[in-house]
Amino acid sequence: MVNPITAYIALGSNLGDRRALLDSAVQSLRVEVEVVRVSSYIETAPVGGPSGQGVYLNATAEVRTMLAPFALLGALQRIEDGLGRVRAERFGPRTIDLDLLLFGDRTINAEESGIALVVPHPRVHERLFVLEPLAEIAPLAVHPVLGSTIRDLRDRLRVPTPQTRVLEGQNAVVTGSTSGIGRAIARTLARAGANVLIHGRRSQATAEQAAAECRTEGVAASMMLSDLSEEANCHAFASEAWDRLGAIDIWVNNAGADTLTGEAARWSFEQKLHKLWAVDVRATMLLSRAIGERMKRQGRGVILNIGWDQAESGMEGDSGQLFGVSKGAVMAFTKSLALSLAPEVRVNSLAPGWIRTAWGDGASSVWQERVLRETPLNRWGMPDDIAQAALWLASPGAAFITGQIIRINGGTVR
């Protein structure tokens, strides 16, 4: 006999009578599945989407079901339709929003009848408004990809106490900070008290959203757009950023060319090499030199570059060759720059391992299994794992650390 599956559903509303809509959604769920428990309702500010939205009322529900994943998804969409959900704008206001967060210990990335389903929900680990109510009813439930409990994921996102604002009043610039690792670093530096300048390549709306997130931490945050694949833009961006902030204490070179997803994934080897050289290597070097000289004159500063943990050990295939040479160059440059700028400026490199960013969210089961097999801590790394390392390196706690490659990879040693 087949046993029912335990699944977790997120519920949210910011239009109409929010509490009544959540109550109605729960009652409709009881028709489709067995509702085991429902969390408290909590109010949270909207994340992303158009400005001026109303505050959300959020909750989570634990259910048991015999339905297959796509059948359950279909049931959730029917409930949304019945409660007046209009899908007009991504992250826009809605009467009801029902998301399938977890489905047992299953990992799903599939499409059926033109409808895509990704489980675990690809952003569950980034959303405190989901993790807070979920931790209330299922603190020990385990994220099947990350290997962390819901309580642990929640605790990583909780706002720190005032004693942790070790960067109070400092100014930080994080390139490539509209998403992924860069966005996590920017938010973490802001939580520690640093004023932050967000950098993006082309999306003003996304950059402003990231800056707005940082401002919720009680710091000043602004944004600038610049295509760092162009040499002239690197010099202009460094000068304008310095002039805007007056002085810069922390500079993080996170911007990198994405050659793994979207149209770029279909580029030739030569095209990818050209783009990686321009953004990951040349831009990092030009920005580091320009900002480093200014920091040395002001008598203080920290520069962090992004390397790759397998640049030295090697990885098979085109991507291994491309990222090995580009990130290997960044790591070698970091050591030489540290010698050039000491003792006033500290320069270090973060070398991430398997980190769950946009590529990881859509990676095949083969790659998912490889990540767990190669990582002794048996989970994907998170952008927040890199951000916490960046915070430490930028803080007074790392005052005697320079010229080093810090590997954040869950213990991978090959």
Q: How many CA atoms are closer than 13 Å to the CA of 377, on its beta-carbon side?
A: 17
Q: Phi/psi at 384 (nearest 5 deg)?
A: -65, -30
Choose, from 19, 23, 30, 85, the residue flagged as catalytic. Answer: 85
The set of residues, in sequence order, having a beta carbon less than 8 Å from that of 53 and lying 6+ positions away, is 14, 46, 92, 93
Please tell me the distance from the alpha carbon of residue 126 to that of residue 120, in angstroms, as a whole number.
Answer: 12
Q: What is the dihedral of CA 56, 61, 66, 68, to 10 degrees?
A: 30
Q: Please indicate whether residue 152 is annotated as part of the active site.
A: no
Which of 99, 258, 280, 309 is flagged as catalytic? 99
Task: Give the phi and the psi of residue 273 in degrees, each rounded to 5.
Answer: -60, -45
Q: Is 81 a catalytic residue?
A: no
| Alpha carbons 12 and 21: distance in angstroms, whole number | 9
For 278, the token pair is: 């321009």
Helix spans in 280-356 (H): 284-298, 317-341
Q: What is the DSSP letter of 200?
A: E
Alpha helix (H) residue ranges in 119-247: 128-137, 150-157, 180-191, 204-215, 231-245
Q: Choose, from 97, 258, 309, 384, the residue flagged as catalytic.
A: 97
| Strand segments (E) across 333-375 | 346-352
78 classed as catalytic: no
Provide φ and ψ at 396, rounded to 5°.
-60, -20
Q: 16, 55 in Cβ contact below 8 A?
A: no
Q: Is 227 annotated in the active site? A: no
Per annotation, catalytic residue among 18, 37, 87, 94: 94
Judge contact between 24 and 98, C-beta under 8 A: no
Q: Backbone phi, then psi, for 406, in 5-degree steps?
A: -105, 115
Q: How many CB atoms lie within 10 A of CB 99?
A: 18
Active site positions, annotated: 85, 94, 97, 99
